[in-house]
Amino acid sequence: MIKNISQGIQAYAGSLALISKLNLWKFFFIPIAISVITAAVIGLSAYGLSDNIGDFIAKIWPWDFGKETFTSISTFIGGIVILVVGLILYKHIIMALSAPFMSPVSEKIEAHLTGIEKHNHRNTSSREQLWRGIRINLRNLGKELLFTIPLLLLKFIPVINIFSTVLLFLLQAYYAGFGNMDYTLERHYKYRESISFVRKHRGVAIGNGIVFMLFLLIPVVGIILVLPMSVTAASLKTVKLIQQDNLLPEHKTIV
């Protein structure tokens, strides 16, 4: 698992240079706009709602003593809840809506790696790619929320809340990597086959998603570069994994 996570992270090396080499920036303009707008809406919502959620949680405390302290803690936890849910929604919104633009990027990277310009895999239209992206990300959103809620509850327990934070980060990373890998997988696998593929290579998905999540910690620049870098890295690694399954020919390239 650790080795696969490392491979997912290492795939980012040279991604920026490859984007320029293959002239891929033009495909990222609309996804970057989607990313910036979505991040702004979610950020403003988190700022405005954290106090409300904090006050709601504080009502659990029926006594007067310690009320102010409990309210402050509740407000902090409310902010974390909004931030976590916001990040979850952000990931899936931008990855679903960007599918028609990211699939051509993945296809060009695949052509660069294999030397085959015209693939004879599953041919899908932009509308089908968008629907596939929405379907995959709605499925992943439901799964992620299902696991996130109990992990958020663990934050009320001292010491254990440290481990829950790590698990939350890895969970978000996994589903971020999942979405990035699917831009390549949609040409080769059907819906359920893609899910099985990512489960088999979950370490790579986590590795890709770790860097995705870290990018979001960089103000402004992070939300601009997160899709170009993560999608390119995921495409590079996913094509190589598909080659290992003998679904694609090997082709020696310099990345």
Divide the 255 residues of the chain into consecutive groups of 10 and give the mean pLDDT of each group.
Answer: 88 89 91 90 75 68 68 72 81 88 89 74 70 88 88 74 85 92 89 91 94 89 90 92 72 47
Rounded Cα distance between 142 and 127, Å, is 23
* pTM for this entry: 0.82
- Token code pair at residue 42: 């979610």
Is 43 contained in some domain? yes
Q: How many domains does the chain have?
A: 1
Is 208 contained in some domain? yes
Is 210 contained in some domain? yes
Is 30 contained in some domain? yes
Is 131 contained in some domain? no
Is 68 contained in some domain? yes
Is 119 contained in some domain? no
Q: What is the DSSP string of the chain?
A: -HHHHHHHHHTTTTHHHHHHHTT-GGGTHHHHHHHHHHHHHHHHHHHHHHHHHHHHHHTT--SSTTHHHHHHHHHHHHHHHHHHHHHHHHHHHHHHHTHHHHHHHHHHHHHHHHS-SS--S----HHHHHHHHHHHHHHHHHHHHHHHHHHHHGGGSTTHHHHHHHHHHHHHHHHHHHHHHHHHHTTTS-HHHHHHHHHHTHHHHHHHHHHHHHHTTSTTHHHHHHHHHHHHHHHHHHHHHHHHTTSS-------
Q: What is the pLDDT of residue 253?
A: 46
Is 151 contained in some domain? no
Q: What is the pLDDT of residue 120?
A: 58
Domain that holds residue 207: 2-113+157-237
Q: What is the pLDDT of residue 254?
A: 40
- Token code pair at residue 114: 């294999």
Q: What is the pLDDT of residue 255?
A: 41
158 CB neighbour count, 10 Å cutoff: 7
Q: Please say whether the beta carbons of 44 and 24 come within 8 A.
A: no
C-alpha to C-alpha distances, 223 to 106, 112, 228, nearest whole angstrom: 20, 26, 10
